[in-house]
């Protein structure tokens, strides 16, 4: 198992980063929140989880070991693969997920793209004794799900992390604002893709 990768960030994309390790570029799938903490050319350390399939080897990267552990525990529930587990961590922090599961907060789970009401009910049952109690000062998961203004800061940080000047990042955020405000729970990953399309058209 590859427990972590450490080295300079060679490249950033909307859903992944390339970290140079011993002269080799390692592609790591990350959430927008994790990507927003990375800067091209600067050193980074990501906890990782390797997912092996018949036709692929995919490395998922996380801000810390706790996030990786939750990612792996989520996949012990039936119907939860690595992409859905990553989507859950893109919407909620590890402690917010623990709080949602321990308190039976169905609404918090349905805020994750790909999880409906029945799926949320099933996950609450399956994960109740697996994730444990929050280990830090978790905010209520429902509050995280709503976070009406937080998407702006996250999106701006992600664009700057990808190398765009702050001014261009500001313009891209404003360009996708109508789309975000039309949604009850703006998804930063989807908004990031739309913002990048706007920037590409402008260049």
Stretch (H or E) spanning 50: strand 43-53
Contact 97, 88 (CB under 8 A): yes
Token pair for residue 99? 């709080």
Neighbouring CB atoms inside 10 A of 121's CB total 14
Helices 65-74 and 94-103, interaxial angle, to 10°?
40
- Rounded-to-integer distance, Cα 18 and Cα 9, Å: 6
pTM of the prediction?
0.68
Average pLDDT of the residues of the chain: 84
H-type helices in the chain, by residue range? 32-35, 65-74, 82-91, 94-103, 106-110, 117-127, 141-146, 150-161, 166-181, 188-202
The answer for residues whose C-beta is within 8 angstroms of residue 61's C-beta and 6 or more apart is 5, 17, 19, 28, 29, 30, 34, 46, 47, 48
59-73 pLDDT, tens digit per residue, is: 999 999 999 999 999
Token pair for residue 174? 């404003």
pLDDT at 140 over 50: no
Domains and CATH numbers, the chain: 4-62 (2.40.50.140), 65-145 (1.10.150.20), 150-202 (1.10.8.10)
74-113 pLDDT, tens digit per residue, is: 999 998 999 999 989 988 889 989 999 988 999 989 888 8
Contact 131, 108 (CB under 8 A): no
Looking at residue 138, what is its pLDDT? 44
Task: List 26's β-bridge partners, or say none.
Answer: 19
Looking at residue 199, what is its pLDDT? 79
The residue with greater pLDDT, 200 or 173, is 173
Question: How distant, in Å, are the alpha carbons of 31, 34, 109, 144, 164 from that of 89?
Answer: 7, 10, 11, 11, 25
Average pLDDT over residues 158-172: 78
Average pLDDT over residues 138-148: 39
Neighbouring CB atoms inside 10 A of 116's CB total 11
Residue 87: Cβ-neighbour burial (10 angstroms; 0-12, 13-18, 19+): buried
């Amino acid at each position: 198992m590859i427990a972590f990768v450490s080295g300079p960030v060679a490249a950033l994309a909307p859903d992944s980063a390339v970290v140079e390790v011993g002269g080799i570029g390692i592609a790591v799938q990350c959430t927008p929140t994790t990507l927003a903490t990375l800067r091209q050319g600067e050193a980074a350390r990501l906890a990782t989880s390797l997912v092996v399939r018949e036709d692929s080897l995919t490395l998922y990267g996380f801000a810390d070991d706790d996030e990786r552990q939750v990612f792996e525990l989520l996949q012990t529930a039936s119907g939860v693969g690595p992409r859905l587990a990553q989507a859950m961590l893109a919407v909620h922090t590890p402690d917010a997920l623990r709080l949602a599961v321990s308190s039976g907060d169905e609404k918090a789970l349905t805020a994750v793209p790909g999880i409906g009401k029945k799926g949320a009910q099933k996950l609450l049952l399956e994960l109740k004794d697996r994730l444990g109690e929050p280990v830090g000062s978790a905010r209520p998961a429902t509050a995280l799900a709503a976070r009406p203004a937080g998407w702006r800061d996250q999106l701006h940080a992600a664009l700057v992390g990808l190398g765009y000047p702050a001014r261009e990042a500001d313009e891209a955020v404003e360009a996708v604002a109508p789309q975000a405000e039309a949604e009850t729970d703006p998804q930063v990953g989807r908004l990031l893709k739309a913002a990048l399309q706007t920037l590409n058209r402008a260049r």
